[in-house]
Amino acid sequence: MDASPEPRPAGARLLDAATARLLSLPDATEDFTVTRDVRIPMRDGVTLAADLYRPAGGTPAGTLLIRGPYGRGLIMATLLARIYAAHGYQALFVSCRGTFGSGGAFDPMRTEVEDGLDVVAWLREQPWFTGTFATLGPSYLGFTQWALLTDPPPEMAAAISLVGPHDLARRTWGTGAFGMELLGWSDMIAHQEDGGMAGRLRMLTARRRLRPVLDALPLADAADAHFAGRAPWFRYRATHPDITEPYWAPMRYGAALDRAAIPILLIGGWQDLFLDQTIEQYERLHARGVDVALTVGPWAHVDVLGKGSPIVARETLDWLDENLAHRAPRRRTAPVRIFVTGAGAWRDLPEWPPPTVPYELYTDARGALSPTAPPPGRPPSAFTFDPSDPTPTVGGPLLDGGGVTDDRRLAARPDVLAFTSGPLERDLDVYGAPRVELAHTTDNPHADLFVRLSEVDPRGRSHNVTETYLRLDPARDAAPITLALRPIAHRFRTGNRIRLLIAGGSHPHYARNLGTDENPSTGTTLRPSRHTLRHGPSRILLPGIG
């Protein structure tokens, strides 16, 4: 390495100590140095930039590898490198190609396998390497871990993925509708290295600035004008919904779930947009007998390193102490630890999901949700989805913002069907993925379904619990539609009511269905769709406990 280690200045020591107290971490055991702008060669001649954190004295407890595109600044480094360096670990924090001093062009998600393997090849040649390493990080920094696990290096001893997806193609188009969070994320990436007050102001006003683009038609042209060449990847991804195309293959790391054999800690949030993939990771690894642990808290995506950071930091440090440093026994009391929303309490489980009993609720033309099916002859319920005035997104699992919110105004819209139960006579705990079976038809084959489960308190306030989305196959037959909602661990409280919402869109979470066979990101023709729901067969099945 050409650069020299730098000791911690006094201000940094104070910050690290304050962070440790805030996170309720054990007292630091080591001082450490930082070597800035370490250069790591890739096979194509590009070099990546990295910072290396090393204990100032003694042998490191182990090596951590962190790779991501969001920079290596103080906030990221404090939560992902410094708190571990203060406990004896050395951490190599690498910026993805094309970001924050790393060479090459950033083509999101498409070069992470090769780049990850090249970083490891360089790492194993360094005289300070301890012989094994663990990976950690949230979101895209979790995605880079799954990329590496598609061909696991023998030195890789453990992994910690926080709200980290393994298949970003499926996140973008897996519902059949375009996931519009890619627009906001691309805007952030395109401008994250803009300095000064202008750059900070741009980040703070992102939602307001992006709204005209989200509402524009055609979407791809509006995005091109907005990005002005700074997000060259966006147009192709927004206009190519077939994720079996070879283009998407470098973003799909499901093979890692078949090949990983190391201890893996997964941390997710009930309102995280990647929750489905976190649960899938756990279930597939657990079925193979891999040593996997799962923690799911009451968090949206960005909360994991915010509200969730005290729990995340402690569990992460424990996992490293056990599986990388081998200096402590397992501290977890159970493989699965979940926060039960509605009950406001954590619960330990031997596995996920636990055994459950279906609790059925049927829709009725009068807007009721009942444990018994309505008598024959009830008239159907219907609504019209108008893409020129699409049903809005209200809370839910968004990349930024969202989460649990009062969705009464959504339930009151004329383009939404709302079915509400009577007050519950006892608490109902639901663990797992609720399922809806809908006798549903449309007069336009080009249509979407948005389904949400909410809880209504005695004052009429309605809060979202879980949801799902699907772009219907235009060639589908008239058979009932079955949809799985996102997994939950939730207590519906005595005296509260359960509400089922059904709509034809959730804009701008998902790109609206134009109602035609035009490409959703280049089309401009709009046609409404009339949705009809027959009662009797239509119901929701809740996986109840006790």
- The separation between CA 409 and the C-alpha centre of its own chain, rounded to angstroms, equals 26
- Which pLDDT score, from 0 to 100, does residue 203 have? 62
The C-alpha atoms of residue 48 and residue 31 are separated, in whole angstroms, by: 26
Distance in angstroms (rounded) separating the CA atoms of residues 83 and 309: 12
**Which of 104, 119, 113 is closest to 52 using CA atoms?**
119
Q: DSSP class of residue 496?
A: -
Q: What Rg, from alpha-carbon coordinates, does the chain have?
A: 24
Query: What residue has token string 């078949």?
Result: 258
What pLDDT is stored for residue 204 in this prediction? 61
CATH number, domain 357-545? 2.60.120.260
CB atoms near residue 289 (< 10 Å): 8
Q: How many residues does the chain have?
A: 546
Q: What is the dihedral of CA 345, 347, 353, 358, to 10 degrees?
A: -50
Cβ neighbours of 188 (radius 10 Å)? 16
* H/E stretch holding 89: strand 89-95
SS3 10: helix
- Residue 201: per-residue pLDDT: 63
What's the pLDDT at 10? 77
Q: Please report, for the chain, the start and end positions of each structural domain, with discontinuous segments joined by +.
A: 6-171+248-349, 179-240, 357-545
Question: Which of the residues in the chain have pLDDT under 50?
Answer: none
pLDDT of residue 198: 59
Task: Work out the angle between the directed axes of helices 181-191 and 196-204 (0-180°, nearest 10).
Answer: 170
In 3D space, the residue among 99, 97, 90 whose CA is nearest the CA of residue 72 turns out to be 99
Say if CB 533 and CB 522 are below 8 A apart.
no
Contact 254, 146 (CB under 8 A): no
What's this model's pTM, rounded to 2 decimal places? 0.96
Average pLDDT, the chain: 95
Rounded CA-CA distance 73/474 in Å is 48
Token pair of 163 as six digits? 């709200």
**pLDDT, tens digit, 9 for 90 and up, residues 398-420:** 998 899 999 999 999 999 999 99
At the topology level of CATH, where does 6-171+248-349 sit? Answer: Rossmann fold (3.40.50)
Here the tokens at position 401 are 């913002």
> To which H or E segment does residue 193 belong?
none
455-510 pLDDT, tens per residue?
999 999 999 999 999 999 998 877 789 999 999 999 999 999 999 999 999 999 99
